[in-house]
Chain A
C-alpha cells in the first residue's frame, strides 16, 4: 500500500461524500416535512429509477467484495451465494411487490395491521423490522470499518473505529435531512457507479483471456492450488453433515429473507402504482442478475490473475480480492494505471456501503416512528409529528448501530448478513404471506408468527458456535453452545410459519371476513391505494 493509493482513494471518497451531501441538500430543498415525502419520496419515482435504487439498496459490499472474494478463495462454493441472492427476487416479484404496494402505506406493519387489531400487530412487526434492520446495519458498518482500514492501510483498531463512527454520522445526516428522496438518488448514483465499475473490470478480465471462459476457469483452478476441486462444490461447505446442513440453512435464509427485508419493502412505496412496483422489480432483477454474473467472472478472474494465495494473504476472508484484481488489471500496483483502478474500486466499494447504510436507516426509522411510536405513545401525550420522531429515530438507530458495530467488529460480515436474512425470513415473511393469502389469519396468529420466528432465530444464534464454544466465536472463553448450526434458518423459518398457524387455530377470535375481502380486493386491484 503506497501513499499514492491512499491519497487518490481519499480524494475519491471525499468527492463521493461531497456529491452525496450535495444531493441531500438539493433533494431536501423547499420540501415540506410530510410523512409521504419523508418515507416515500413523494411516490413519484419511475420504475427505472426505482429499479436502480432497489438494486443499489440490495447490492451491498457483501455482494461486491464478499462474493467475489469467496469465489476467489473457494471457487464454486462462492457462486452458490450469488444464485441464492438472485433467486430470492422471484419470491419478491411473484408474491410480495405488487400486493404490498397496493395494501400498505410505508411499512410492513401497514400491510399486516390492516386486517387485525392494530396495536399488538404493529408493535410486533415494528419490533422485528427494527431488529432485522439493526442486524443488517451492523453487518454493513463492520464491513465498512474493516474495508476502509484495510484499503487505507490503517491496520490499527483506531482507523476502523473512526470509519464506523464517520459512516454512521454521515448516514444520519443523509436520512434525517434528505428523507427518502435523497436516499433514493444516492442509491441510484451508487448503483450506476457500481455497475460501471463491475462492467469495466469484467471486460478487462475477459480481454485478458481473449474471451475464453474455459481458459479463465482452467487458469483459476491451476492458480488456486486446488486443481479441479476448485470448480466443483464442496470446498467450503463439504465435509461433515453439520457443514452441509449449515449450507442448506443458509441457502433457505437467502432465498426467503429478501422478501422480508424492511428496506426493500419500503422501496415499493416510492412508485405510484403496483404496475410500477412490478416493473421496478423487473428492472432490478435485470441489474442484480447481470451484476452477480459479473461477480462470478471477477471472482474466478481474481483467482486466475491475482492468485488465491495472494488474496488470502491480503485478507483472510477474501474481502480485498476485487481491489487487488483491479490493481493487477491496471498494470500492477506500482504503475499509474494500477493505482488509479485500485483507488476507483475502493471508492466504489465505500460508496456502496454508505448508500446501503442510508437505505436501511431510513426504513428502520420509519418502523420506529410509524409503528412503534404511534402504537406506544400514551393517550393525551403531546402530539409530535411522526416525521420529527423519525428524524430523531434515525439518529438513535445510528448511535445503536455504531455502538454494536464497534463491539462486534471482528465478526465475519457474510455471517452477519446471513443472520439478518435468517431473522427476516423467520419473523417477517410468514406474517406477510399469511396476511396476504390466508383467509382465516387473525391477530393472535400474526403476533405469534412474528415472535415465533424472531425469538427462536435470535435464541438459536445465541446458542450457536458463533457466540461461544469454538476458537473463532464471539466469546471463545465460554461454552454454552447447544445448537450446532451457524445459521438458524433451517429451524427458525419453519417455526415462524408453524407459530402463525398455531396462533390462528387456537385463537377464539374469528377472522374478520370483511377486512379479508378488503385486503384481497385492494391487494389485487389497487383500489384505494395511496
Chain B
C-alpha cells in the first residue's frame, strides 16, 4: 500500500472538486523538500533500533519544520473558532435582545451570526486544506519515506 501513495493521490484529485490542481514549485517547501533526514545505505546499520530512528527523525530540522507549520496554523485557528462559537452560544443565551435587533428586513443579528458560523466553518476548512496541501504534504511525505527507509528490516 505504502508505495502507491503518491499515485493514489494523483488519481483521486481528478474527480475531486474540493481539490485544486497541485501547485507547481511548492513555494515555501523547497528548503526542506530534497533530503530531510540523512539516509544511510539500504537497511540502515544493524545496531540501530526503531526507537532511535524515531527519536532522530523527531529531532531533525525537517520534522521540526513540519510540526511547526502544523502547530502555527492549527493552534490559533482552533482557539479562534472555539472562542467565536462559544461567544455565539453565550450571546444567544445571555443577550437575546441584542441578537434580536433586525439588520435587513426581518433578518436579525442572531440570524447573521448563525450564517456567519457556517461561513467561517467553510472558509477555515478551505484555508486548512490549502495550507496542508501547499505547506505540509510534500515535506511530510519525504519524511515518511525516509523514516520507513530507516526502520526497514528493524524489528521493534
Contact = CB atoms under 8 A, between A and B. Distances in A.
A279 B19 contact: yes
A238 B97 CA distance: 11
**Interface footprint category on A:** 35 or more
A272 B89 CA distance: 37
Interface of B is mostly: helix
B51 A514 contact: yes
Contact of B78 (A95, A218, A515): A95
B31 interface: no
Contacts of A527: 57, 143-144, 147-148, 151
Nearest to B12: A46
Given A87-B121, A278-B132, A48 B92 contact: no
Contact of B107 (A87, A91, A217, A282): A217
Interface string B1-32: 11011001100100110110000000000000
A408 interface: no
Nearest to B95: A233
B90 interface: yes
Interface in A107-125: none
A528 B57 CA distance: 13
B78 A91 contact: yes
A528 B2 CA distance: 8
Interface string A132-158: 000000000000000000000000000
Nearest to A87: B85
Interface string B108-148: 10110010011001101100110010000100110110011
Interface residues of B, number: 63
A17 interface: no
B90 A248 contact: yes
B54 A517 contact: yes
Contacts of A289: 118, 121-122
Contacts of B96: 232-234, 238
Contacts of A209: none
A292 B5 CA distance: 34
Interface string A245-281: 0011001100100000000000000001101101101
Nearest to B94: A244
B85 A233 contact: no
A272 B1 contact: yes
B99 A87 contact: no
A37 interface: no
Contacts of B111: 76, 79, 217, 231
Contacts of B118: 83, 86, 289, 292-293
A505 B150 CA distance: 34
A248 B93 contact: yes
Contacts of B61: none
Interface string A165-207: 0000000000000000000000000000000000000000000
Interface in A63-106: 76-77, 79-80, 82-84, 86-87, 89-91, 93-95, 98
5 contacts: A43-B1, A47-B16, A87-B85, A232-B96, A521-B147
- Sorted nearest first, the 5 A-B pairs with minimum C-beta distance are A232-B100, A527-B147, A514-B51, A234-B96, A214-B105
Given A95-B78, A234-B100, A247-B92, 14 more contacts: A46-B15, A48-B15, A84-B85, A84-B89, A87-B85, A93-B125, A233-B92, A233-B93, A233-B100, A233-B110, A234-B93, A234-B96, A247-B93, A525-B143
Interface of A: 43, 46-48, 76-77, 79-80, 82-84, 86-87, 89-91, 93-95, 98, 213-214, 217-218, 221, 228-229, 231-234, 237-238, 244, 247-248, 251-252, 255, 272-273, 275-276, 278-279, 281-283, 285-286, 289, 292-293, 513-515, 517-518, 520-522, 524-530
